[in-house]
Structure 1
Amino acid sequence: MTGNVVSRRYAKALFAIGAAKGEAEQAKYGEQLVALGQSMTDVPEAMGFFRNPSFSAEEKKAVLNQLVEKMSVDPMVKNFCDLLADKGRVEILPAIASDYKAMMDAVSGVVTGELITVGELSDERKSAIQSNLEKQAGKKLELSFATDKDILGGIVLKVGDKVMDASLKAQLQILKENIKRGE
């Protein structure tokens, strides 16, 4: 919980700086943060290094600076990363990137969601479902698709903090509860 509060504060600070510089800069900061966060989470050893308290802030800063230089990010994002290293918060960079992206999505009216099915859907079906959901929501929808054999059939749609469970597993669970209650 504390990590979430801290990451939101850092994301909000950089978001405010980006807003003061303009929408294009704000979006660029977000893209670069997400890329940095993704590169850190893609390599579990890197996250282990940044979480390890036996390494000094200077050592972490040196490694982070190499990563930042390799990705050639904006000087403001580099300074932000240096601040995180100085404060011993480098390990929450992926969470900060996620919070920043959520703020950008909220400003631009983009909603993220996940659709879970039993089997893999074709690309045409995915795009048709996404366009129908976008029409219903009246907003742009970034939809990720996943499969889960445990739902037995149907779909589970998660959009924001809402979940629509139209799976066979959920229907059977409701039926089971009704039978237990004698309905």
Structure 2
Amino acid sequence: MAETQTLARPYAEAVFELAESNGRLGEWSRALEALSAIVSNPDVALLLDNPEISDSRLVELVVEIGGDDMDEASWNFVRLLVDNGRLGLAPVIASLYEQRKAEAENRVDVSVTSAVEFSEEQRAALVKSLEKRLARNVSLTFEQDEDVIGGAIIRAGDLVIDGSLRAQLERMRQSLAQ
């Protein structure tokens, strides 16, 4: 994983710098998201390593599938990735780009996993608390997982706050075993 990120990072940085200088952060987000989805498709993945498909044909196919989400700049980017044998890195490049974009926008994407759905009041309180703690604007996504049992697991980039009942029980079990 670290090697993949190391290979993808220069591409993500270059696209971010280009997008930021042209005021096209949103357009590049959509293009990279589309490219990531295309490359992640199992049928397209088979084409990536097929020696019978020329590089130019592969670029054409990807851009054609991308449709309106692909403009000339993203077409050139696809060509660059294909020429360098890095098209398979598109999902990682998209992820790194989004992280860089969120950083530039002073925003953090936070994922909350809980056993039960949060009320609007709880969501608002959580956003307020996280914005204060992280000193950034917070964009929340919620996921329900009954295995959490109670409480919540909050992920914001590298930060993980595990306030789940399952984690508390595990900590208690470990302290009793000592």
Aligned ranges 1:1-183 → 2 under 5 Å: 1-19=2-20, 21-22=21-22, 24-41=23-40, 43-50=41-48, 52-54=49-51, 55-68=53-66, 70-122=67-119, 125-181=122-178
CA contact (8 A) 2:30 2:69 kept: no
Following superposition, the deviation at residue 104 of structure 1 comes to 0.9
Change (3 A) 1:94 1:126: same
Structure 1 gaps of 5+ residues are none
Three-state SS of the structure 2 residue aligned to 1:88 is coil
Identity %: 26
Q: Paired residues, what number?
A: 176
Counterpart amino acid of residue 3 in structure 1: T
Three-state SS of the structure 1 residue aligned to 2:24 is helix
1:8-46 deviation per Cα after TM superposition (whole angstroms, max 9, x unaligned): 111112222233x33x224432332223323443x3322
Counterpart amino acid of residue 15 in structure 1: F
TM-score normalised to structure 2 length: 0.84
Q: Distance in 1 between matches of 2:120 and 2:46?
A: 37
1:114-147 deviation per Cα after TM superposition (whole angstroms, max 9, x unaligned): 1110123345644553344234433111222112
Structure 2 gaps of 5+ residues are none
CA contact (8 A) 1:37 1:93 kept: yes
